[in-house]
Amino acid sequence: MGRPLKAAPEDLEAQSEKLHKALATAGLGSRREMEELIEQGRVSLNGQPAKVGDRVKAGDLVKVNGRLVKLNWKKQAPRVLIYHKPEGEIVSRDDPEGRISVFAGLPSVRGGRWISIGRLDFNTEGLLMFTTSGELANRLSHPRYEVEREYAVRIVGTLTREQMDALLQGVELEDGLANVETIVPGGGEGINQWYRLVIKEGRNREVRRLFEHLGLTVSRLIRVRYGPVAMPTRLKRGMREEMSEQDVSALMVWCGLEKPPRTASAAGRGREERAPRKPRAGRG
């Protein structure tokens, strides 16, 4: 009898998954948060303290803070909520000042929790998304993926051509060089003028700080698009709606977390569609 064949690397990958990623997929938090839990010694794998980089497979016993965690190895589509955040709500579960949280009133999630995709400042309104998938939240939020965020900005005053060029080329903020990808005038009345701009990083108060650097005050800031998802016109302040499974799947494809669906004709030839459609939610 010949020697048993060794499993190919891709087979081993399919049989196991990185622990912090599996915990994030289970809805316990973002992948970074799960790495921090592991580093703090609050996660065990088969009775031993877990380490960042450990892999987990079906049948392994994983505990977080001493409590057994059930990892679902059956692939399930994540849930995604679209929310029109009004001013005066904080994107945090705990606030010492007792301000209203965007997480208040969200529908319950069995065996997991809602994770915000990016953040919005207390005084900023507009599109905010939540998901039950830490991996999806990471793909849409982490700066290295450079997902576009589009804003409508109202300022007191008018930008000169030189100021618009400066925003496009980049200005030096306290945390490094920052710039906008595009910026166009959006009209206005009197001293209040609107602009539409796109950024890719989403640093803390980035848009406001860019204008403050130029000596201008932002009087209103609204996020109108995040990646391929635009704010639906029907969604008024404080309203939310859940994406359909079809649109969530399209979002996963857009992020590279799922393969595009195959057409009936291409299925026989083993070819995939070249261009998956964007999520329909929010095209308004």
Rounded to whole angstroms, the Cα distance separating 126 from 150 reads 10
Say what the pLDDT of residue 279 is: 61
Please tell me the predicted confidence (pLDDT) of residue 244: 95
* Domain ranges for the chain: 9-69, 148-226
Residue 15 has a pLDDT of 63
> CB atoms < 10 A from the CB of 149, how many?
23
Long-range contacts, stretch 198-201, CB < 8 angstroms, 24+ apart: 198/148, 198/149, 198/150, 198/151, 199/148, 199/149, 199/151, 200/143, 200/146, 200/147, 200/148, 200/149, 201/143, 201/146
121, 165, 175, 247: the catalytic one is 121
Q: Kindly report, residue by residue over 251-274, the tens digit of the pLDDT.
A: 999 999 988 877 655 545 544 444
Residue 185 is predicted with a pLDDT of 95
Of 120, 208, 211, nearest to 166 by C-alpha is 211
Q: In terms of pTM, does the model score above 0.75?
A: no
* Tokens encoding 114: 């809602």
Instruction: Pick out the chain residues at pLDDT < 70.
Output: 1-15, 73-75, 263-284
For residue 284, the model assigns a pLDDT of 39
The whole-number pLDDT of residue 87 equals: 97
Contact, 122 vs 99, CB < 8 A?
A: yes
Dig out the tokens for 264 from the structure.
């009936």
DSSP run (H or E) holding 185: strand 182-189
Give me the phi and psi of 86, to 5 degrees please. Answer: -85, 165
Q: Who contacts 126 (Cβ-Cβ below 8 Å, separation ≥6)?
A: 84, 85, 120, 151, 152, 221, 222, 223, 224, 231
Q: What CATH number was assigned to the domain covering residues 9-69?
A: 3.10.290.10
Distance CA 85, CA 28 (A): 23
pLDDT digits 0-9 by tens, 221-256: 999 999 999 999 999 999 999 999 999 999 999 999
Look up the CATH superfamily of 148-226.
Pseudouridine synthase (3.30.2350.10)
DSSP state of 271: P
* pLDDT score for 77: 80
Instruction: Give the pLDDT score at 133.
Output: 92
**Closest among 211, 200, 281, 188 to 243, alpha carbons compared:** 281
Instruction: Say how far apart CA 65 and CA 55 lie, in whole Å.
Output: 19
In this structure, are strands 240-242 and 80-85 parallel, antiparallel, or unpaired? antiparallel
**Structure tokens given for 155:** 């300022």
- Total residue length of the chain: 284
Distance of alpha carbon 109 from its chain centroid, rounded?
18
Q: Active-site residue 121, yes or no?
A: yes
Determine which helix (DSSP H) or strand (DSSP E) holds 240, and give its type and residue range.
strand 240-242
pLDDT of 147 reads 96
**148-226 has the same fold as 9-69:** no
Q: Are 180 and 260 in contact (CB under 8 A)?
A: no
Q: Are the C-beta atoms of 57 and 18 separated by less than 8 Å?
A: no
Report the pLDDT value the prediction gives residue 262, as an integer from 0 to 100: 73
Give alpha helix (H) positions in 16-53.
19-25, 31-39
